[in-house]
Structure 1
Amino acid sequence: MEERHLGRSGLSVSRLGLGTMTWGGDTDPEDAAEQLMTFVEAGGSLLDTADVYCGGDSERVIGELVGQVVDRDDLVIATKAVLTAEGTRDASRRHLLRALDASLDRLGVDHVDLWQLHAYDSRTPMEETLSALDDAVASGRARYAGVSNYAAWQLATAATWQRAWPGRTPIVSTQAEYSLLRRDAEDDLVPASLQLGVGLLPYSPLGRGVLTGKYRTGIPADSRAASAHYAEFVQPYLNDRCARIVESVSTAAEGLGVSPLAVALGWVRDQPGVVAPIVGARTVKQLAVILEAEEITLPGEIREALDDISSDDDRDDD
């Protein structure tokens, strides 16, 4: 698998990241172990988690696998903090540094490669929040710092603040939802990231699974949209506009002799500013299909056609 530098940093990561939001929940430790081995064997390195995923069990599962199933040095471990178990946001210095120590304990490592602010907390002064990143890196508990779910102005403010004085920890990455079904990141966030030298890590690059084509003729019984837990997560993309985009993706896939998943993932992976889409899978079989997309580079005319059908002009069309 190819690697890319994360923003203007010296950190190289695989151009696909493996998300672990369901590890310790819908994905049991045995399936997680198979996925992790398959991912690393394919050349993948970026492993993304968060302290709140499955109540901390995602990090615990990773901690059980690192050093047993794969070597620590083969991974770029990224985790996040800010969100609380009660569903609130707390980006105070106290909470963040305690959360980082707890993450390291669950992960069974002495440092994470990328520590990310999971969301913006308007109640905490940004300079206080960012000082926690400085301490984490200065102490060796984190190597690099990033943000997630930040608006463009929030990212610009944080990145500029960190650059304003020598010795502060730069912001090297930002996570945001980005796919053919959701392109609003292109309005402000992508230009800001490019200008600031911050690498973009898109999550839900397959439109919450809709771009795989599984919902073209209905809602499969074993799909997320049929699940009481995930139905509301998928529902926003089960409309006429999204259906038109999915049909275009499927047509392109048929012409290229690949899966719709490969087309959708290849499109977002090679967009300006994108370093590595974060993909998740329930099973190792699903992950294998995702990894096959690594071989696909979309022809220019297909990229242009997909750009047109999913353009801003149609975003509000239900």
Structure 2
Amino acid sequence: MPGMQRRFLRGLDAEVSLLGAGCWTVGGPATNRGVPIGWDHVDPEQAYDGLVRARELGVTLFDTADVYGCVQSERLLGRLLRETGRTGLVISSKVGYFAGTARHPYAPDQMRRQFATTLDNLGTDHLDIYFLHSSDFGENDQYLAGAVEVMGELREQGLIRAIGTRGPHAFAEQWATGDDARAATTTRWSHLFDQIRPNVVTVRYNLLSPLYTSRETDIFAFARRHLVGVLIKQALGQGLLLRDPASPPPVFSPADHRCRDPRFQPTVLAALDRMLAALRDWFGTDPTELARIALRYVLQHAPDAAVLAGFRDANQITTTLTCLGNPLGQDEIDQIIELFHPRTDGNTDERTPARAVHRD
């Protein structure tokens, strides 16, 4: 599509579409070892139409995983590659949650089998990015070294171009010096980063993500310093940020991951709905405008990252890909921050990295 913007993705050293297609949602409902990992109400043909529409609208970045729909997502994307070609596309997938009959998902032979299966599902001979999807490397990280070795082999053999890993939902490098739970989480992730040395990380970031002070190094500044690319997921809060606050709490099947997600529980939704109602009072109820606000907030905070957008059909992906319009003004960002992150101490001096406006 003329006008689809691109961004240079560090680590991969390539341009990708500003918005990419996140293919978790198109895998449909699924469980893995009894744990719900999927999405309800997904029709495979409508999901495929969404993939086609994404490509028509200029998306060049498609992200999936072996466990999304227990291979259904990879196979749908593989159908797109067979029918429309792979030229010019950046394809990523992941490993780390599906063990099959192996002792652990990161057992080296299991990783190699999963990688071969992923290539077969996608109908391609290489991946642009291959992610270590889980941070569970077994007791005492016994599978960590082997997993890093396999990823290195795949890159050396030209089967992948970049190694990826998932980043923390909340992170400031300085937190590691504390003695609380977030210090332990920060130290743990920093250790994994040093061992894996990824080229690209995926992070969750949206209107609800915490703010950081000017003295804190958030994940985006951290990645920039280490020349690592960033892919942002859940910019729309898995659809929560487009929710009509007048609608009843949703009900999910046992195969939908949201049935266990605290963010989708009635008491949490009630608090979110109050903020969403105020957001609609300020900006209107048009879903396209609400999507613009959510996406622009993220893109303007992270001017060198790309966003992965989930979808279930062509209409959803079309709305997401065509909603961006003009960047948010500083007054709009101030309103959003005041709504989602109100100060309780009266101090507004420490709200600057998230407030910075970067215009495309």
TM-score normalised to structure 2 length:
0.74
- Tell me, yes or no, if the aligned pair for 1:45 and 1:76 is still in contact at 8 Å: yes
For residues 261-300 of structure 1, the C-alpha deviation after alignment (integer angstroms, 9 at most, x for no partner) is 2211211122236612211112211111111223341112
Higher mean alpha-carbon deviation, 38-47 vs 151-160, is at: 151-160
1:10 paired with 2:13, answer yes
Deviation at 1:218, TM superposition (A): 2.2
Q: Percent of counterpart pairs with the same letter?
A: 24
1:227 paired with 2:242, answer no
CA distance in 1, matches of 2:260, 2:193: 33
- Tell me, yes or no, if the aligned pair for 1:194 and 1:273 is still in contact at 8 Å: no
- Tell me, yes or no, if the aligned pair for 1:79 and 1:114 is still in contact at 8 Å: yes
Aligned to 1:50: 65
**What does residue range 156-305 of structure 1 map to in structure 2 within 5 Å?**
156-161=190-195, 171-183=198-210, 188-214=218-244, 216-219=245-248, 225-228=250-253, 229=256, 230-233=258-261, 234-236=263-265, 238-254=268-284, 259-272=289-302, 275-305=305-335
Counterpart of 1:21 (choices 24, 29, 42) is 24
- Tell me, yes or no, if the aligned pair for 1:112 and 1:141 is still in contact at 8 Å: yes
- Tell me, yes or no, if the aligned pair for 1:156 and 1:196 is still in contact at 8 Å: no
Aligned residue type for 1:247: A
CA distance in 1, matches of 2:287, 2:47: 30
- Helix, strand or coil: the match of 1:266? helix
Q: Relative to structure 1, is the Cα distance of residues 10 and 187 closer, same or farther in structure 2, using a 3 angstrom cutoff?
A: closer
For residues 22-63 of structure 1, the C-alpha deviation after alignment (integer angstroms, 9 at most, x for no partner) is 324343342233212211121111111100011111111111
Aligned to 1:165: none
CA distance in 2, matches of 1:7, 1:258: 30
Q: Relative to structure 1, is the Cα distance of residues 272 and 19 closer, same or farther in structure 2, using a 3 angstrom cutoff?
A: closer
Deviation at 1:105, TM superposition (A): 1.1
Counterpart of 2:88 (choices 55, 74, 98) is 74
- Helix, strand or coil: the match of 1:226? coil
- Helix, strand or coil: the match of 2:70? helix
Aligned residue type for 1:219: P
Pairs aligned (count): 301
Aligned residue type for 1:217: A
CA distance in 2, matches of 1:273, 1:203: 15
Root mean square deviation of aligned Cα:
3.0
CA distance in 2, matches of 1:184, 1:135: 38
Aligned residue type for 1:92: A
Aligned to 2:33: none
- Helix, strand or coil: the match of 1:55? coil
Deviation at 1:231, TM superposition (A): 3.9
Higher mean alpha-carbon deviation, 113-122 vs 143-152, is at: 143-152
Q: Relative to structure 1, is the Cα distance of residues 252 and 8 closer, same or farther in structure 2, using a 3 angstrom cutoff?
A: farther
CA distance in 2, matches of 1:11, 1:62: 21
For residues 191-232 of structure 1, the C-alpha deviation after alignment (integer angstroms, 9 at most, x for no partner) is 422332222222221122121132x10227xxxx23233344
- Tell me, yes or no, if the aligned pair for 2:97 and 2:133 is still in contact at 8 Å: yes
- Gaps of at least 5 residues in structure 1 are 163-169
- Gaps of at least 5 residues in structure 2 are 29-40, 169-184, 345-360
Aligned to 1:59: 74
Deviation at 1:143, TM superposition (A): 1.3
- Helix, strand or coil: the match of 1:260? helix
CA distance in 2, matches of 1:306, 1:15: 22
CA distance in 2, matches of 1:240, 1:187: 32
- Tell me, yes or no, if the aligned pair for 2:9 and 2:229 is still in contact at 8 Å: yes
- Tell me, yes or no, if the aligned pair for 2:98 and 2:105 is still in contact at 8 Å: yes
Counterpart of 1:135 (choices 138, 142, 153) is 153
Aligned residue type for 1:266: R
Q: Which has the higher helix share?
A: 1
